[in-house]
Amino acid sequence: MDWAWVGENLGRIRGYALQHLFLTAVPVAAGFVLAFPMSLAAIRWRRLYAPLLGFTGMLFTIPSIALFVLLIPVTGLGPLTAIVPLTIYTLLILIRNTVEGLDGVDPDVREAAEAMGYTRGRRLLGVELPLALPVIVAGLRIATVTTVGLVTITALIGAGGLGRLIVDGFTLFFPTSVVVGVVLSVAFAVAADLVLLAGQKALTPWRAGRA
């Protein structure tokens, strides 16, 4: 380990870390924006659910490096080529957990809300969604941690992020850079996981003491 190098390159490392944050946050957010209406549709029209999982599951099977590369002819080398596949990968996890979370709401609670005069939309936002939140956030956590790991690979197609430290370290034969890239990437994944968990706990105070 060459600590002096780390000190001299803090600015560059911070830049890569910020890119990593961007390349993680955008796909997870975009994935959620896409997955949420799809999940509602799958709950409304049950027959959609199995094909939806089958299709997103098939996409999930395609190795990330292959999907990134397949997009190069369409979107060129750069962040967009990373963001589209990363978004696609989050869909399976997010749809599954959103549907299972909303399905898990006690039917009695749903009926009680209806009896109290809740419309379908208000019942969803005010009753079902808060109760399903732990399962939905569990999905977001898996999607986020997976995405953080995959973003390191996007450096190979010129997208940036902490993977750049790994690529540069390999090209220049400089292990310190690789170690920094790996360690920060793991730290990033753990931190993101804890932030989401804390967010879920803050939003579901009635569950205090439970997971």
Partner 1 sequence: MELVAQLLDWFTAPAQWTGSSGIPVRVLEHVLYTVAATGVAVVVGLPIGLAVGHTGRGGTVAVNTTNVGRAIPSFGIIVLFFFIFGIDPVPAVIMLVALALPPIVTNTYVGVRSVAPAVTDSAAGMGLTGWQVLREVEIPAAMPLIMAGIRTSAVQVVATATLAAYIGLGGLGRYIFDGLSQQVLNQVVGGAILVALLALATELALGRVQRLVVPRGLQARSRQAALDAKLT
Binding residues for partner 1, per CB under 8 A? 53, 57-58, 60-67, 69-70, 72-73, 92-93, 96-97, 139, 142, 145-146, 148-149, 152-153, 156-157, 163, 166, 169-170, 175, 178-179, 181-182, 185-186, 189-190, 193
Please state the closest distance from residue 50 (CB atom) to partner 1, in A: 9
Q: Rounded distance, CA 82 to CA 32, Å?
A: 17
Q: In whole angstroms, how close is the CB of 72 to partner 1 at the nearest point?
A: 7
Would you say 105 or 154 has its CB closer to partner 1? 154
- Give the nearer residue to partner 1 in terms of CB position, either 74 or 116: 74
Other residues' Cβ atoms within 10 Å of the Cβ of residue 206: 8
User: Distance between CA atoms of 200 and 90, rounded to whole angstroms?
Assistant: 19
Residue 6 or 118 having the CB closest to partner 1: 6
Nearer CB in complex with partner 1: 12/122: 12
- Cα dist. 72→26, 45, 79, 122, 140 in Å? 19, 36, 11, 43, 27
* Minimum CB–partner distance for residue 114 and partner 1 (Å): 30
DSSP sequence for 10-39: HHHHHHHHHHHHHHHHHHHHHHHHHHHHHH
> Shortest approach of partner 1 to residue 120 CB, angstroms?
28
Query: How many other C-beta atoms are found inside a 10 Å radius of the C-beta of residue 58?
Result: 10
